Structure 1
């Protein structure tokens, strides 16, 4: 038994000599052939031996498991010796340390014939190749872990922005991307591509924006990349990116405060639906006439304060958590809301059920969701410098807010667009909303097939310029228009 602590013995090559085994070994360093298991198998066949590669814990990584003399193996793993040889029971064993840091891996080669100069050279050089391959694998794995951790961090920042915790979002971002969220306002963009191309697209977004924007792989939609940027130049940069890629689309929001990132995200998704039908594959959310802008602002804020007053008794953190979850839950499905917030869908449902109970509403009712959405939307606008209304001040209530001439005119104009359709799409849409957006129940009421209901609702979308089959702001505005026009009964809300 013998051991050396002076490193692996290297045999100088004769000038111009390139033995066949050396050329074969070098082939394993080519990108297409980099596989430690194949190298170990090649070594076993080349020197006619049994070969084993074990990690620091003794786990077999490649080859055939061989019994090792424990004191020798321990010396190699600790780095105390670099190689060792042992002979006995008709076998010759050669052990080589793989790796510079302790604990190291151990390459063991066992054969019946003694190790001559040729076989020793093959083992020595193979050990060097294995070390290179393992180091390369570790470098790739470390890079992958770093990219994954960075992506998770970006997602965490986005989730904080989605629940309006801008202070925490800025604090987290400042340590890694100084100045990224220093601005008061930002735009949100959503880029859509095939899911298989998303990782490459996200990497290009990072390069195109020079990491001066928050780039996140959407946790809810496999083909979406979300970009939050305070820079005006980002829009042009992303348009150029979309131009270079077929079947890629871009939707952008209007400028919003960071606290309204969730609102901006909804706008970007809405614009994305328009971008799919445009030649340049891009669209920015169109600022149109929203019903709340046609209402008396003081009366509207006072009414919203009364509707949400039951939540005021909660601790601040709990109240903020419930409100943020409900805002997103009214815009997206429970599953997608959970993915965006990084919680379970049961948590989303539990929070929204608690809000339902406290506000005395039924979220199965589309009109009730629309009214609560209006109250929440009004409240978040207070963050943009508006003053809060007095919840105790006299107010006409929802009936009075919807009865104003401006709101009534807006509702009649919007719904009147459907009157030109001879299929009575307006009646179908009204019935579908009253049925909670359920095509089967609406079909039973109308005496038609459920697919007919869906087709009517789908055909109303381009006429009204709003998405209806997907829950969210567009649907709620149409529901409010029906309420203002007197086509639907107002929902029961404790504070409204």
Structure 2
């Protein structure tokens, strides 16, 4: 909008001058329109009833002060009305070069009321067109300001706790006012646009901090500091600066932006307070669950998530990621499955997130949650890992957590960085692949020397070791005698006894490694001693796997471990094992079924028996892995 000072400069054809030296305040008064009257209209009709705020009143025609005695009271009333209604100034049309006609008493009255007195030599029609121009300018300004305010409101986030909301408003405000914008607290920057604004506005912030005041007026050349919440004593400040002064319209827009930023700041504070309280409650509930205090944990979560922990069983998942990304991962996890699970950042490990998923029925395996968590880990990318437990009683969640942490460690060996249960983890993937290949090739070297013999053994031996010969022959579509002959030849060449479960397991593992797990650079045999199977299993990850497998077997009130060891010692024959233990065959079979349930392995398969044998050997040292000595003697020969 034009001002009294700018109009006299920008429109010289109006020949507008101040009757007395115009003060800075008078020159800064905005003109919102021109009201034209004649002396005769003032005498006959009195002061106009409507004088819009910011009006410049222009008296045209004969100089009113020629009618000194009659016009002076009316002019005084006009000045009083203009003072009350925010008039910009009073102008009188005079002849070019004439001195101002205002008598001293009118000049004094105007000065006391704060009304500027001016003269103009321009024709009345110039002022009529000026009035139209001002109105058109006001309309354009109003439309632009409406568009700005609408755009500003659009920057409000769908959720006021949106962490990026302040930055988006700052990014909008900077070009809107052609300024630098900084939103800060005493100890941190909340938003800056451009990124260098913090450096540019540092002096203003420092001055405010040192002086202990927070002015809402100019605190420096073309700088504004506005508290976002002065009534609540919040210390968040909006600071802006630019090369040119801020006019009243700019300040109004700035105050609107500050109000929105204040709402966002308040929402952030309230969200943080609620989030901290929620986090504390969830952490407390999780600790109570680990201590077996299920009822107390349910009471803690009753208001936050009614019914969430009202189940008898649950699974535990562990997500590990970079420390800097843990909070983001926790938020994503809560957004994806937060209604179904309890999510807690691990207070003991700043890279880990702990998740309890209550299982609501026997059919509920937690598949939906595990799928979402797998997607989350894939989206986070390396080195993020996901481990899970089996289904545990709510009172045994400490054991479930231990299994999930173990599974998460195994996940580092998996292509997708995910192991959803220790019991579902693949032992072979936990072995040192280079050493495992060396061991397997050393063991199978006598079979692999003859290429024709190796091709037939490669096809037949895995099935012949895993199934009875009749079943293997049917699977391979060979005659039973062919399968039996090849198996006998392999046992003879390897100096193995395939009636021994230990020998069958060792050769089957070697065949799997060589035929299915070949690595791009397989080790060549050298004269050095190959690793033993016991040494191959002697690694931290295999020890953790074995302990997780055997722990529920050892925790059973029945002596399942002794039964399993005896069964393996007698090459998986129930009758001699029962006789040695002094138990009935029914009891031995019942114990073996319990072992299957605890370890989630099928002991009717060679792979299931292998995991039982290896896990027991790693944890207890029994049974012996007799193939170690046999394999070494084969290589030595």
Structure whose alpha-carbon radius of gyration is higher: 2
TM over 0.5: no
Higher relative contact order (CA 8 A, sep 6+): 1
Q: TM-score, normalised by structure 1?
A: 0.43
